[in-house]
């Protein structure tokens, strides 16, 4: 089956009804524990950012005793990502099919769909879809704050259970103790939509697209300079060049994976494909599926400083790396951008970014460091220029990277 898969039949004027959804995809089959085996053989990796094998989580929850839950993490807290909202706006039934099938496979008694409170169109489409169909599981739609931590699964579970929106130390993992202290399977909407299609067509069909180690298709949010922005469905392993309209020599760089992702230099674009094996050579992964093209008119130093500053402000501030490390990085970058950095600024950046990862309750510092270290590599010349001479003319422009943009992309496209 060619592309599109997830976006098949999706249109701009409203979500697919249940009847239209079944005309496109057929009726869902009866779910069983065999689905876990099929998902395992498909090689499906989670599409929420961490790329964790979906079947491993399902297996861990299924083997637990007592009541179990399924949490659909549709918080989509990555500011530049709009893929999960586009999917829920276009075909919420595909996500519901996957959620119900996964819940039955792991014997979860309830399904909670956590969706950001400003996603009004997507939430309306989801509620209408639920009204069209009976479900043996109790499905709850829970609006959550528009905050970066809403996407962090332990913070999200804590909030849904009535606590503060702050991460908890692990273990226990959500598969051991999650919602209401029950073993909880946490997956994002795109992952569950793939589960729905694997249930219908099987793992071999899923592997007809993509790479052996990163199979299937993926949704990406494309934005930035000189590109036709929108949500696209691509085969994993698609050349990065295929997404971009502007010649590589006219790009400062491309951010892949969002604010926990990695920068690709303009001259490296033609050697990169959108799969984890290729991106790992540049320190990144497909992550949340965000691809941002940075044009020559943008200031890379301003982009780095603004993003690290935003991540520092969005952190829980409860562990040392977030309460002290990220603000220190943000302050130093601001000083470098302004030309007021101390003489040992580069030495400090290198030391601090080496000290922060793997020390907090969540992976926010790890992702921030990944983003920054790749930026230090790709934009070393620009950082040094700002360190010596201060702000450039491009610093007066708005940043390409956004931090509170509620614009929704709902474009159907395939590459």
The answer as to whether 343 is a domain residue is yes
Is the residue at 405 inside a domain? no
| Residue 402: predicted pLDDT | 92
**Same structural domain for residues 86 and 200?**
yes
**Residue 186's closest CA among 361, 314, 357, 58?**
58
pLDDT for 140 beyond 70: yes
Tell me which residue range forms the domain holding 307. Answer: 300-396
pLDDT band at 32 (very low <50, low <70, confident <90, very high): confident
What does the pLDDT read at residue 248? 64
The CATH number linked to 181 is 3.40.50.11540
Residue 290 lies in a domain: no
pLDDT score at 169: 84
- Running DSSP on this structure, what letter comes out for residue 15? P
Phi and psi, residue 399, nearest 5°: -70, 150
Q: Is the pLDDT of residue 176 over 80?
A: yes
pLDDT at 360: 75
Confidence bin at 136 (pLDDT 50/70/90): low
Asked whether residue 1 carries a pLDDT value surpassing 90, the answer given is: no
Whether residue 409 has pLDDT greater than 80: no
For 73-130, how does the pLDDT look when each residue is reduced to its tens digit (9 = 90+)?
999 999 999 999 999 999 999 999 999 999 999 999 999 999 999 999 999 999 999 9
Q: What is the pLDDT of residues 354-399, one digit of tens each?
A: 988 887 778 889 999 999 999 999 999 999 999 899 999 999 999 9
Q: Residue 189 domain-assigned?
A: yes
Residue 220 dihedral angles phi and psi, to the nearest 5°: -130, 145
Residues 373-403 as b or e (16 or more Cβ within 10 Å = b): bbbbebbeebbeebbeeeebebbeeebbbbb
Q: Residue 22: what are its φ and ψ, rounded to 5°? A: -70, -25
Residue 42 lies in a domain: yes
Is the per-residue pLDDT at 22 higher than 60?
yes
Are 86 and 184 in the same domain? yes
Question: Does 330 fall in a domain?
Answer: yes
Rounded distance between C-alpha atoms, residue 361 and residue 338, angstroms: 32
CA quadruple 164, 113, 62, 55: dihedral, nearest 10: -100
Kindly state whether residue 121 falls inside one of the protein's structural domains: yes
Question: For the chain, what is the domain count?
Answer: 2
The CATH number of whichever domain residue 363 belongs to comes to 1.20.1440.230
Higher local confidence (pLDDT), 328 or 134 = 328
> Is 2 part of any domain?
no
Within this chain, do residues 73 and 199 fall inside the same structural domain, yes or no? yes
Q: Which of 24-33, 261-270, 295-304 has the lowest mean pLDDT?
A: 24-33
């Amino acid at each position: 089956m060619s592309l599109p898969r997830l976006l098949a039949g999706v249109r701009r004027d409203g979500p697919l009804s249940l009847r239209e959804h079944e005309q496109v995809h057929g009726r869902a089959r009866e779910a069983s524990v065999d689905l876990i085996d099929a998902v395992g053989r498909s090689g499906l990796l989670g599409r929420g950012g961490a790329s964790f094998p979906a079947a491993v989580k399902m297996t861990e929850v299924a083997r637990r005793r007592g009541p179990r839950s399924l949490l659909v993490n549709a918080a989509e807290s990555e500011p530049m990502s709009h893929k999960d909202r586009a999917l829920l706006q276009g075909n919420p039934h595909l996500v519901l099919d996957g959620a119900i099938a996964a819940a039955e496979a792991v014997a979860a008694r309830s399904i909670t769909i956590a969706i950001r409170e400003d996603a009004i169109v997507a939430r309306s489409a989801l509620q209408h879809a639920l009204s069209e169909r009976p479900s043996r599981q109790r499905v709850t739609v829970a609006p959550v704050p528009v905050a970066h931590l809403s996407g962090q699964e332990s913070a999200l579970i804590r909030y849904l259970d009535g606590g503060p929106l702050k991460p908890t130390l692990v273990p226990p993992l959500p598969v051991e103790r999650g919602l209401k202290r029950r073993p909880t399977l946490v997956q994002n909407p795109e992952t569950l939509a793939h589960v729905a299609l694997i249930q219908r067509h099987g793992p071999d069909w899923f592997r007809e697209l993509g790479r052996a180690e990163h199979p299937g298709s993926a949704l990406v949010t494309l934005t930035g300079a000189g590109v036709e922005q929108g949500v696209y469905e691509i085969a994993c392993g698609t050349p990065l060049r295929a997404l971009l309209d502007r010649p590589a020599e006219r790009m400062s760089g491309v951010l892949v994976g969002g604010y926990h992702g990695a920068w690709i230099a303009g001259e490296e674009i033609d050697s990169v494909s959108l799969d984890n094996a290729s991106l790992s050579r540049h320190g990144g992964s497909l992550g949340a599926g965000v691809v941002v093209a940075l044009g020559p008119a943008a200031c890379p130093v301003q982009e780095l400083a603004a993003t690290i500053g935003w991540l520092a402000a969005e952190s829980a501030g409860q562990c040392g790396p977030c309460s002290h490390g990220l603000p220190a990085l943000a302050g130093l970058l601001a000083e470098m951008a302004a030309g007021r950095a101390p003489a040992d600024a580069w030495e400090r950046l290198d030391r601090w970014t080496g000290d922060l990862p793997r020390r907090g309750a969540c992976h926010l510092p790890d992702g921030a460091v990944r983003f920054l270290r790749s930026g230090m590599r790709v934009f070393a010349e620009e950082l040094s220029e700002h360190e010596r001479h201060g702000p450039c003319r491009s610093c007066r422009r708005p940043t390409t990277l956004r931090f509170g943009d509620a614009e929704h992309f709902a474009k159907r496209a395939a590459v």
